[in-house]
Amino acid sequence: MVRTLDSINFASKRVLLRCDLNVPLKEVDGKRVITDDGRIRASLPTLEILLAGGASVVICAHLGRPKGEPKPELSLAPIGKRLGELLGREVLFAEDVVGPSAKAAISKLTPGKIVLLENIRYEAAETSKEESERATLAQKLSEYADFYVGDGFGAVHRKHASVYELAKLLPHAAGKLVAAEVEVLEKLTKSPLRPYGVVLGGAKVSDKIGVITNLIEKVDVLAIGGGMVFTFLAAQGKTIGTSLFEAESINTVKAILNRAKERGVELALPTDVVVAPKFANESPTVVSVDAIPADQMGLDIGPESSVAFANAIKKCKTVFWNGPMGVFEFSNFAEGTKQVAAALTKVEGLSVVGGGDSAAAVRALGFKDDDFGYISTGGGASLEYLEGRELPGLIALQ
């Protein structure tokens, strides 16, 4: 059980808050524009509690994978600007992490004020495999604050300096977001209302083998879409054209298919797919999974499959979904993902959208956060929790 913010007195304390502000951006007229601010919004409840309690806050976060080097396109500056807009107050921005800019900004902090440090992953020690290097960085960060709050759920599966080592150096607690994520994931793993359905998509089946293997023992319905489904179809002996395919996962997928049959799990695989001659938003054709042309690639589940998946989802009382059903960024191949999302909004129970591309997809397709029971901020972290792994960032907060 992680320690939460309840009953902690933050008056006049300086708090180092680890957030997950790893949001998608794109270039528009020479400026970097945030395309989905969901993770920034998810950080607001904890920030508001700390500020209302009289704390000053130093925010530590990452963006992308700069691999220990400053990269202008991965600066947190535009995230700080958006955070200030959402909070309705100034967010000071430090142009480094443990350098003169950070130290100068933090020295001026007073209760109710916020400093956002530059991308923590500009520091190679943050993600170093050497514990001593991570510990040294954590020690420097610990000098900024009296208290540590871990609220970056999307990073709790990483043994990084600001996630794991830092929490051991200061009095600590989990933020509202992390506490909420853990509560939802416990419902999915310990006492799900049944029927319990899981919908998985995305590009690679190898990324989801662990969670499928674990959940196949617990679920009543398992639906597979996205690029990963073509390895399943190939394991059934079907030809898949030029679709994404992982030959090294075939035997594992066959074992999953056999185990699903042994347990009586309702396994939903597409019966039709939308194909195109290349990875582009053009020339969509609906074909049976038994008749995928040799020169075509599957880019979405088909309309017949979308209806079948939706029907399987709507009869469940608990549903976890991670990974789009197709290339939702292309309008011609977004319908499968849209139909699955719409079905989740009709679940009479708990519907959980499992972070990452799934969260971005539902917002891009016009759905609102409150259309679902819960939208997770951490795709990878959620999956590892559902695999049954221990997450370093949660261990550190116990």
CATH 3.40.50.1260 in the chain is located at 14-177, 184-387
SS3 assignment, position 3? coil
pLDDT at 207: 87
pLDDT under 70: residue ranges of the chain: none
Catalytic site includes residue 238: no
CB 121 within 8 A of CB 127: yes
From the list 32, 53, 380, 389, the catalytic residue is 380
From the list 140, 204, 218, 315, the catalytic residue is 204
Catalytic site includes residue 366: no
Class of domain 14-177: alpha beta
From the list 356, 378, 379, 393, the catalytic residue is 356
pLDDT at 380: 87
Residue with tokens 């993600």: 127
Catalytic site includes residue 356: yes
pLDDT at 378: 85
pLDDT at 126: 98
Catalytic site includes residue 39: yes
pLDDT digits (tens, 9 = 90+) for 360-396: 889 889 999 899 999 998 888 999 999 889 999 999 9
> Which superfamily does CATH assign the domain made up of 184-387 to?
Phosphoglycerate kinase, N-terminal domain (3.40.50.1260)
DSSP string covering 161-226: IIIIIGGGTS-EEE-HHHHHHHHHHHHHHH---SSEEEEE-SS-GGGTHHHHHHHTTT-SEEEE-S
Q: Which helix (H) or strand (E) holds 301?
A: strand 297-301
From the list 14, 18, 39, 158, the catalytic residue is 39
pLDDT digits (tens, 9 = 90+) for 67-105: 999 999 999 999 999 999 999 999 999 999 999 999 999
Cα 225–Cα 255–Cα 343 angle in degrees, nearest 5: 25
pLDDT at 272: 98
DSSP conformational letter for 67: T
